[in-house]
Amino acid sequence: MDTETQSSYELLSELCEKGIIGWPIDFELSPLSESEADEDLSSWGLNSNWKTETDIFIKFGRDGTGSSFLLWQYANEFPPAVVFLGSEGELFNVAQTLTFFLRYLASGCDFGYGEWFEPEQETDPDAIDRSLLTSKINSIHPAIKEHANVLNQNSLIVIPSFEAWVNTKVS
């Protein structure tokens, strides 16, 4: 794994461990696991030769429904993209890198239903302090200037569509 992705995973892990990332963000950190990602993808009925040297997946998180957040190493010269393998058949590109995943969270957005959105003001006393989340991430990574969803959609110009990739691999 490249150093940028590794350091972003370490930051994500620290933020989750300290409760800075938590409810209402629908994300739970998982240990990095290529074998769990392979199991998740294989259960989709992908043909037997779906795995290549450049198509490597690593599971790093899940949501409350059991859907998986994966790192997708689609080309050796780029850091892996973040993709979503939904428990109900959803397939989405989430962020161009794990660093951008963090920066999108820092912008106040949540990911759900295939896009980044600005959640309603949370009144639950158990909800995380979003300003603390933003300050922790922005102290390391610069704040984004555009809406997370716009940046993510623009990244599809250079990053392959995860949904299209899966559709070419289904038996």
What would the pLDDT profile of 65-84 be if each residue is shown by its tens digit?
999 999 999 998 999 999 99
pLDDT at site 123: 83
Residue 122 pLDDT class (50, 70, 90 cuts): confident
Spatial separation of the C-alpha atoms in residues 3 and 9, rounded to whole Å = 10
Has residue 39 been placed in a domain? yes
Structure-token pair, residue 79: 């850091």
pLDDT tens string 150-169: 999 999 999 999 999 999 88
Q: Rounded to an integer, what distance in angstroms lies between the CA atom of residue 170 and that of residue 153? A: 24
> Is residue 132 situated within a structural domain?
yes
Share of the chain above pLDDT 70, in %: 99
Q: Compute φ and ψ for 44, nearest 5 degrees.
A: -85, 0
79-106 pLDDT, tens digit per residue, is 999 999 999 889 999 999 999 999 999 9
pLDDT value of residue 109:
96
33 pLDDT above the threshold of 80: yes
What average pLDDT does the segment 131-144 reach?
A: 97
In a domain, 73, yes or no: yes
Q: Work out how many domains the chain is built from and give that number.
A: 1
- Identity at 15, one-letter amino acid code: L
> What pLDDT was estimated at residue 51?
78
Q: What percent of the chain has pLDDT over 90?
A: 80
What tokens were used for 24?
């209402």
Judged against a pLDDT cut of 90, whether residue 124 lies above it is answered with: no
Q: What is the largest CA-CA distance in the chain?
A: 49
- Domain residue limits at 132: 3-166
64 found inside a domain: yes
In a domain, 171, yes or no: no
For residue 27, being part of any structural domain is answered with: yes
pLDDT at 171: 67
